[in-house]
Amino acid sequence: MRSNATEQDCVFCAIARGDIPSDSVYSDDQVVAFRDINPQAPSHVLVAPRRHVASVNQLKDDGELLGRVMSVAVTVAQAEDLAASGYRLATNHGRDGAQTVPHLHVHVLGGRALSGRLG
Ligand code: DGP
């Protein structure tokens, strides 16, 4: 993970601006959601704030934005028709958390039975 990425060279900032195309499923003034380029499940959507935030680790004191991102993640899961069968919301921080894109995003995963292993 490149820990020093800024909004100038951040791929998810570019997606949020519309400078890089994505398969968008949701967008508002604070949050965007788009399909993962390398899906790990039949439904695999990434939910990210428009504002550049490196990871959830930086949002400890911004419960409002954290809440917005999680609320949109649930909205997306329901729109993907995953509520009845179940889904997973996950966010990674840092090297050991296997974060590869240093812009906060919540993975919405579903559409198949997911492994119970998280690590
Ligand atoms: P993480 O390991 O939690 O940082 O996940 C990053 C995810 O982002 C990974 O599943 C692949 C996805 N991804 C990386 N680059 C792009 C891109 O340019 N477009 C889209 N749609 N997804 C991307």
pLDDT at residue 19 in the model:
97
Is there an atom of ligand 1 within 6 Å of 38 CB?
yes
Distance (Å) from CA 36 to ligand 1 centroid = 6
Burial (CB count within 10 angstroms: exposed 0-12, middle 13-18, buried 19+), residue 12: buried
Decide if 101 contacts 11 (C-beta within 8 A). yes
Neighbours of 13 (CB within 10 A): 20
Q: How far from 16 is each of 25, 31, 38, 86, CA to CA, in Å?
A: 12, 8, 18, 27
Identify whether 105 is a catalytic site residue.
Answer: yes
- pLDDT, tens digit (0-9, with 9 covering 90-100), for 70-98: 999 999 999 999 999 999 999 999 999 99
Residue 2 has pLDDT above 60, yes or no: no
3-class state of residue 21 by DSSP: coil
DSSP string, 29-55: SSEEEEE-SS-SSSEEEEEEESS----
What is the Å distance from ligand 1's center to 45 Cα? 10
Average pLDDT of the residues of the chain:
95
pLDDT at 12 over 80: yes
Residue 7: band (very low, low, confident or very high) from pLDDT cuts 50, 70, 90: confident
Among 45, 69, 100, 103, which residue has the most ligand 1 atoms within 8 Å of its CB, making it the best to mutate?
A: 100
Residue 8 has what pLDDT?
A: 78
Q: Please identify which of the residues 44, 93, 103, 105 carries the catalytic annotation.
A: 105
pLDDT > 90? residue 3: no
Give the pLDDT confidence of 23-41 residue by residue, as tens digits.
Answer: 999 999 999 999 999 999 9
